[in-house]
A and B are shown apart, each in its own frame.
Chain A
Amino acid sequence: MSDNQQNKVKIEARDVQVFYGEAQALHGIDLDLNANEVTALIGPSGCGKSTFLRCINRMNDVIDGCRVAGTITIDGQDVYSPEIDVVELRARVGMVFQKPNPFPKSIYDNVAYGPRIHGLAQSREQLDHIVENSLKRAGLWAEVRDRLSASGISLSGGQQQRLCIARAIAVNPDVVLMDEPCSALDPIATAVIEELMEELRKDYTIVIVTHSMQQAARISQRTAYFHLGNVVEYGATQQIFTNPKNQQTEAYISGKIG
């Protein structure tokens, strides 16, 4: 599980503050997230972990009264700079949500949607290739190759979530954000997604919000513990779960009354 090689920093957050109207949700987050690693964000409900995740691809922009201060850079480029095309950004930084949300379209069209609107395919063959490749990388191809025209919502929950992952990676992202991607899945489907994440991190930077301590421990190389809008502790996952430095982290991961 432990990765000793020093991966380079992909995402750099500095003094990130988020306000929902008057209420401050994040109080100055500083985090360096490494490329080709899975970083897990853990913490109790309302701690700000999902808010932070949504800052990375500016999903907070669509929330009324939400204001973001500080900087987040990906490969040194400020995602909040005025030159940034938010649509481009969200292709570069894909997202998978808690509840699988395939479009009410065919399996093929779910995956082809992004490449089409971003003009990634010059021909039908190219598009077929992208769809097949994305479904293969999401570990779904073998199960759906014979029914690509079936509706995406006809699939099981775990298959739907893998379809959403295929959809996200079809547009060649750098980063994949996952907000509790397995909380609606059974343990088998969860294990399939976890195995997939280990495979995907070879090409992408993955940031996952999870409420499952076991899952964070199993799949991530680094873990950040959020509490009341602050990062209390951030470090190698194996250290966080065996010997956390902070009392609050220890209490949280051990299920203690902090």
Chain B
Amino acid sequence: MEDQHIVTAFDRDLAELNRMIAQLGGMAEQQLATATCLLDARDPAPIDALIAKDKELDALEFLLNERAIEMIAIRSPMATDLRRIIAAVKIASVLERIGDYAKNIAKRSRVIIASETNRSDSISLTRMASLVQQMLNQVLDAYATSDAESAMDVWDRDQEVDQLHTSMYRDLLQMISAQSEVAEVSSHLLFIAKNIERIGDHTTSIAEQVYFLVHGSLPSDDRPKADDSSGTNLGSQKKR
């Protein structure tokens, strides 16, 4: 913390809040990493542990919210202090969501692993997932160091994730229409890809919170988006 409060207990509270965000962030990163490994795996063993671990994330987010409410009630925070607390609450909620997406990836992976299908597309999924992992890592560092510029870099990078998602979406749709026997697995892959794309979106909302924390306003420009999958249909592609 740049300046110290005259009431030192307030500094301790804020430090504790930061520590909780760091811990939550670490857990969300770990869940995402474990889920990503499952994309190439043949072994469903880590899935149960991942699902169980999600409860810890939920519990920690709840605890953080309680602490934040206490701080607002007791310390009457103003300006940066208030923004820090509000940002922490919002970021915690996003990290909890990221945990939910990782859990969903794990559940779908269980079905895919059980089907023993040969998947050629897992490479682009893995690429997308590792890009999103890097973004999450960078945005958590940006939060810890109040680095709005680095946060905005993450904000920009989400375009790459969107582009990868759109192209994967097309590929998977084509695969389903060509080979109906892979429809089930491919559908799960579609949702996994969407989950990863959503995690990318969530890292950008953390980036916005970091920007808000530092500058007291939200970034003015609209976030560049490149996810066209919601407008994709195979019919229009065939016509081209």
Contact = CB atoms under 8 A, between A and B. Distances in A.
Contacts of B216: 242-243
A213 B217 contact: no
Interface in A120-153: none
B78 A257 contact: no
B122 to A, nearest CB: 46
A113 interface: no
Interface string B1-14: 00111110010000
Nearest to B76: A214
Contacts of A76: none
B153 interface: no
B82 interface: yes
Interface in B59-90: 76-83
A257 B5 contact: yes
Interface string A234-258: 0000000111100000110111111
Interface residues of B, number: 16
B5 A254 contact: yes
A191 B190 CA distance: 58
A250 B5 contact: no
B79 A244 contact: yes
Contact of B79 (A214, A242, A257, A258): A242
Contacts of A250: 79-80
A214 to B, nearest CB: 6
A254 B4 contact: no
Contact of B5 (A213, A241, A244, A256): A256
Contacts, number: 41
Nearest to B10: A255
Given A242-B216, A243-B216, A254 B7 contact: no
Interface in A86-105: none
Nearest to B4: A257
A253 B78 CA distance: 7
Contacts of B217: 243
Contact of B3 (A217, A244, A257): A257
A191 B217 CA distance: 31
A256 B82 contact: no
Given A256-B5, A257-B3, A241 B10 contact: no
Interface in A180-204: none
B78 A256 contact: no
Contact of A256 (B3, B76, B83): B3
Contacts of A251: 3
Nearest to A258: B3
B58 to A, nearest CB: 30
Interface in B87-113: none
A250 B216 CA distance: 12
A257 B82 contact: no
A257 B80 contact: no
Contacts of A242: 78-79, 82-83, 216
Nearest to B11: A256
B6 A255 contact: yes
The 6 A-B pairs of least Cβ separation, nearest first, read: A243-B216, A256-B3, A253-B78, A257-B4, A254-B81, A250-B79
